[in-house]
Homo-oligomer: A and B are copies of this chain.
Amino acid sequence: MVYLTRRERFNSAHRLFNPKLTDEENNELYGKCANPNWHGHNYDLFVTVKGEVDPETGVVINLKDLSQIIKTKVIDKLDHRNLNVEVDFLQNTIVSTENIIVAIWKELQVELDKTPARLSKIKLVETENNFAEYYGD
């Protein structure tokens, strides 16, 4: 069993905001991250899959296929977008790093289940000081 990781990147606007809370409560909870005029990040997304090495090809999954799945299902929907208002699979979600990776997992797992690789881990780096990881459970 070998683990293979592909990095893809996206640059997005977002804000942390719970619509059930007042503006004051949001500000108290999230500070400047709640700014109603948005802020943004360069996100680094690391998708790790696991699988047996195919003796015919020497790889777990063709990296081009893995990259293409991530781009089509995730990057094309997030890159140069507003995460709060433009992403179908993030509707009604507080777009924290934690919630984004759980949502990305669901998008990718469906597609990766059609391949010989199994989704193992999603890591999302928001800044050089902060990142989140999810293993699907």
Residues of A within 8 A of B (CB): 1-9, 11-14, 16, 18, 20, 29, 31-33, 35, 37-42, 48, 53, 56-60, 62-64, 79-82, 85-86, 93-99, 101-102, 127-135, 137
A60→B130 contact, CB < 8 A:
no
Chain B hits for A132, CB < 8 A: 2-5, 60
B129→A7 contact, CB < 8 A:
yes
Chain B hits for A35, CB < 8 A: 80-82
Instruction: Point out the residue from B14, B58, B137 that lies within 8 Å of A1, measured CB to CB.
Output: B137
Stoichiometry, as copies per complex, reads 6
Chain B hits for A3, CB < 8 A: 132-135
Q: How far is the CA of A37 from the CA of B58 in the complex (A)?
A: 20
Would you mind naming 24 contact pairs between A and B with Cβ atoms under 8 Å apart? A2-B101, A3-B133, A3-B135, A4-B98, A4-B132, A4-B133, A5-B130, A5-B133, A7-B130, A8-B129, A11-B40, A12-B40, A13-B13, A13-B37, A16-B58, A32-B80, A37-B85, A37-B86, A38-B40, A38-B82, A53-B102, A58-B96, A58-B99, A59-B98
